[in-house]
Chain A
Amino acid sequence: GQQVMQIPQYQHVQEGEDFTTYCNSSTTLSNIQWYKQRPGGHPVFLIQLVKSGEVKKQKRLTFQFGEAKKNSSLHITATQTTDVGTYFCAGLGGGSNYKLTFGKGTLLTVNP
């Protein structure tokens, strides 16, 4: 079945440093979604990417979808302590228009 790999598993940064997490799918995706989960919380939707090569920005966050629609990345510029949490990518594909396959997530911690 479809698998979504995400690296790194953990990332610890100093406040102000940049952060990137990478996501790779075993199959071509129809779209990819990113979620953030704060410690003790539930996944909160951040963004959806649909088009090949798509780049979207949300303030300090930049999301990219690869040309082959199999990989994606999330980059945070100048991290803040409020960015702490686990970032998940979730792919929609394999002929399904509803079944999300999540990566294991990247836990980001920020040292003030």
Chain B
Amino acid sequence: DTGVSQDPRHKITKRGQNVTFRCDPISEHNRLYWYRQTLGQGPEFLTYFQNEAQLEKSRLLSDRFSAERPKGSFSTLEIQRTEQGDSAMYLCASSRTMGTQYFGPGTRLTVL
């Protein structure tokens, strides 16, 4: 399978814990995006990488959130001191420059 992959698919954590998610984009895609989706809503843009450079961060991304794409390939999204309001599906997408965004299966986070 050469699509976007995400790991883990599900994560249950207690409030206050840190969590980290991984995204592996389609190999030739230089752009990588993180979105968050809650029930009954469309995906909301969180952040965007062009190769290894993080070029935009949404206001939704508080200082507890950090994303990296160290070698311009896979990316990680870390949430520190999780809160119940962080419970959501975290979606990763990738694309070529100006190309269609292809989404991964998502990581469903539940904060107890």
Residues of A within 8 A of B (CB): 4, 6, 9, 33, 35, 41-45, 48, 88, 90, 97-105
B109 to chain A, nearest CB (A): 15
Which residues of B54-77 have CB atoms within 8 Å of chain A's CB atoms? 56
Q: Give CA–CA (A59, B8) in the complex, Å.
A: 36
Residues of B within 8 A of A (CB): 31, 33, 40-45, 48, 56, 91, 95, 98, 100-106
Q: Give CA–CA (A25, B105) in the complex, Å.
A: 27
- A-B CB contacts (within 8 Å), total count: 47
4 more A-B contacts (CB under 8 A) besides A88-B43, A101-B45?
A35-B103, A88-B42, A97-B98, A98-B31
B37 to chain A, nearest CB (A): 8
A37 to chain B, nearest CB (A): 9
Residue of B nearest to A96 (CB): B56
B4 to chain A, nearest CB (A): 9
Asked whether, in the complex, the Cβ of B91 is within 8 Å of the Cβ of A99, the reply is no
Q: Give CA–CA (A98, B46) in the complex, Å.
A: 12
Asked whether, in the complex, the Cβ of B44 is within 8 Å of the Cβ of A98, the reply is no
Q: Give CA–CA (A4, B41) in the complex, Å.
A: 12
Asked whether, in the complex, the Cβ of B40 is within 8 Å of the Cβ of A42, the reply is no
Asked whether, in the complex, the Cβ of B103 is within 8 Å of the Cβ of A42, the reply is yes
Residue of B nearest to A102 (CB): B42
Residue of B nearest to A89 (CB): B42
User: For residue B33, which residues in chain A have a CB less than 8 angstroms away from its CB?
Assistant: 98
Residue of B nearest to A98 (CB): B48
A4 to chain B, nearest CB (A): 8
User: For residue B101, which residues in chain A have a CB less than 8 angstroms away from its CB?
Assistant: 33, 45, 100
Q: Give CA–CA (A104, B98) in the complex, Å.
A: 24
Q: Given that A98-B33, A99-B56 are contacting pairs, would A42 and B106 also be in contact in the complex, using a CB cutoff of 8 Å?
A: yes
Residue of A nearest to B56 (CB): A99
User: For residue A45, which residues in chain B have a CB less than 8 angstroms away from its CB?
Assistant: 100-103
Q: Given that A100-B45, A103-B42 are contacting pairs, would A43 and B98 also be in contact in the complex, using a CB cutoff of 8 Å?
A: no
Asked whether, in the complex, the Cβ of B45 is within 8 Å of the Cβ of A104, the reply is no
User: For residue B48, which residues in chain A have a CB less than 8 angstroms away from its CB?
Assistant: 98-99
B84 to chain A, nearest CB (A): 22
